[in-house]
Structure 1
Amino acid sequence: MKFIKTVSLAIVGTALAIGGAAAQGKTVKIATEGAYAPWNFTGAGGKLEGFEIDLANDLCARMKIKCEMVAQDWDGIIPALNAKKYDAIMAGMSITDERKKVIDFSVSYANSPNGFLVAKSSPLAKMPGTGEAFSLNSQKEAAEKAIDAVKPVLKGKTIGVQGSTIHAAFADKYFKGTADVREYKTTEQHDLDLAAGRIDAVLADSTAIIGTLEKPEFKDYVMVGPSITGGMLGNGVGVGVRKGDVELKKGFDEAIRAAVADGTITKLSKKWFKIDIAPRS
């Protein structure tokens, strides 16, 4: 069982009335997974690090509130929010219609497509659509045609995905019956199985794959396949809050828009991902 680790973020000024907890001068707790590098991960000494830790620090400073990050296993992260164990979620969570049935989201603070991670020596390294990008919102027919084009090379293969994610749902919808889709608790676990040869490919967010490729043990691996966004993959990544927590959502919305406008999110995304995943208007 994973132990809960916490790390305090910057304490800036007096708490303003941006949400129930903040209005009462209480600490706003933000949950993250702590196992989804480089978005969020547990570094040396149990300290939470990554893009979302830096961004949360920045947003809390703009909102002039005291925030605390807490680590929470992914598969229980939404139920624990609704059980009021913390006030918000920043964990690479895509904004989807299904999730919006049970929680609310801030405006998006990042947007990144998915991709496949495979060994360079694998036949899958020549997957059709590599280098091409499609949106299931604005290019649905072309996107689904690109997805169909990869099915023949995936036939009989085993794809690793993190359970309870948009990637697991995507794989189930488009590749069930073509490939064996294997779910894992964390992205680290499916990366390890890929390296050990127990699966043929990983389907994940491209930024997570970029983080994996920076590890020396993955120097002989490559990201392939068409880059797909939109549709069931959501409309970017946002801060999750409980339904009805209007003021806290408003505070995050305003802080995120400011961080996009002044280039802070672009700067942080290039630091952690080497690409700009700031949302576009």
Structure 2
Amino acid sequence: MNVKRTMLVKAWIGAVLGMAVLAGPAQAKEWTSVTIATEGDYAPWNLTEPGGKLSGFEPELVANLCARIKLQCKLVTQDWDGMIPGLQAGKFDVLVDAISSTPDREKIIGLSRPYAATPATFAVADTTILQKAAAKPIVVKLDNNAHTGQPGVEALRKALKGKTIGIQSGTVYTDFIENNFKDVATIRQYKTAPERDLDLANGRIDASFDDVTYFTSGANKNASIVMAGPEIAGAVWGPGEGLAFRKQDADLKAKFDTAIAAAIADGTVTRLSQKWFKTNVAP
């Protein structure tokens, strides 16, 4: 689940920018409460417990941030494809869902300073396709323009030629896989990461691609699936994951930016990331 989304954003840019032209100047608002949307289905970033309670790294972090800035925060669930439209329509005030900061997103929404920065990797059930990742995996760092042609990516393209790669739709990873592997492999998109994992475990696809934290945290429930190949890191994923806001709510964004900076500085982000990811994802 991931968990980092981009494909749907491009379709929204024209409509959102047009709405901005028609809208008048934003009125100053005295923020006392906000509604925050999350998916509730991208463990361990966010998840819904059997009783319906929202839990995970982001819900705990948001509770901490809201307490710091003395805001009453209501956390609700929303499918990814309705998040940004719902934000723009005023249904929510903030989004928290492992949202990577990218140039496309910054055209239509405000993004906070990052509270996490994580690499991504492939996973397989058959290690003859890609070798199981080492205890200290190789890291391939990419910038926004260094995809196909980079030695680490070319090795992956060769290994996955003729294979089927599963990816959750609408993520920053979807763009990466489509741009770099669609000419050598079949790409199959899924609404959720668990659906993709089930097909991988049952041999209906050959590999999947997602955030390293998704696999290391135990969010993947299929014991036969292992991380494989190198980790992909660097500016290709943007500066990291942050909260999303309407452009006109710069004052609200500033409040959360201050709280995030404090949570990083005093070790709160490190503590929560160790709890939920078993590694430090603080940027």
> Per the shorter chain, which TM-score range?
0.7 to 0.9
Match of 1:61 in 2: 67
Q: Which runs of 5+ in 1 are unaligned?
A: 1-18
Find the aligned partners of 1:225 and 1:90 in 2 and give their Cα distance: 29
Matches within 5 A, 1:179-258: 179-212=185-218, 215=221, 218-258=222-262
Q: CA deviation at 1:49?
A: 0.9
Q: Secondary structure at the match of 2:112?
A: strand
Question: Is 1:85 the equivalent of 2:91?
Answer: yes
Match of 1:269 in 2: 273
Q: CA deviation at 1:229?
A: 2.4
Please say if residues 170 and 233 of structure 1, whose CA atoms lie closer than 8 Å, have aligned partners that are also in contact: no
Please say if residues 39 and 80 of structure 2, whose CA atoms lie closer than 8 Å, have aligned partners that are also in contact: yes
Find the aligned partners of 1:235 and 1:147 in 2 and give their Cα distance: 21
Question: Is 1:96 the equivalent of 2:107?
Answer: no
Q: CA deviation at 1:211?
A: 3.1
Find the aligned partners of 1:143 and 1:239 in 2 and give their Cα distance: 33
Find the aligned partners of 1:139 and 1:93 in 2 and give their Cα distance: 20
Question: Is 1:29 the equivalent of 2:21?
Answer: no
Q: Secondary structure at the match of 2:253?
A: helix
Matches within 5 A, 1:120-135: 121-126=126-131, 131-135=137-141
Please say if residues 32 and 91 of structure 1, whose CA atoms lie closer than 8 Å, have aligned partners that are also in contact: yes
Q: CA deviation at 1:75?
A: 1.5
Find the aligned partners of 2:57 and 2:128 in 1 and give their Cα distance: 33
Match of 1:259 in 2: 263
Q: CA deviation at 1:137?
A: 2.9
Pick one of 40, 54, 57 that aligns with 2:46. Answer: 40
Q: Which amino acid aligns with 2:282?
A: A
Q: Secondary structure at the match of 2:150?
A: helix
Pick one of 169, 173, 176 that aligns with 2:175. Answer: 169
Describe the shift of the 1:157–1:113 C-alpha distance in structure 2 as closer, same or farther (beyond 3 A): same
Find the aligned partners of 2:133 and 2:150 in 1 and give their Cα distance: 13
TM-score when normalising by structure 1: 0.85
Residues 242-272 of structure 1: CA distance to partner in whole angstroms, max 9, x if unpaired? Answer: 0021111101110000000111101100100
What is the percent sequence identity of the aligned residues? Answer: 45
Please say if residues 161 and 181 of structure 1, whose CA atoms lie closer than 8 Å, have aligned partners that are also in contact: yes
TM-score when normalising by structure 2: 0.84
Please say if residues 35 and 188 of structure 1, whose CA atoms lie closer than 8 Å, have aligned partners that are also in contact: no
Find the aligned partners of 2:154 and 2:177 in 1 and give their Cα distance: 12
Please say if residues 130 and 159 of structure 2, whose CA atoms lie closer than 8 Å, have aligned partners that are also in contact: no
Q: Which amino acid aligns with 1:50?
A: G
Q: CA deviation at 1:101?
A: 0.9
Describe the shift of the 1:50–1:128 C-alpha distance in structure 2 as closer, same or farther (beyond 3 A): closer
Match of 1:5 in 2: none
Question: Is 1:278 the equivalent of 2:282?
Answer: yes
Q: CA deviation at 1:232?
A: 4.0
Please say if residues 20 and 248 of structure 1, whose CA atoms lie closer than 8 Å, have aligned partners that are also in contact: no
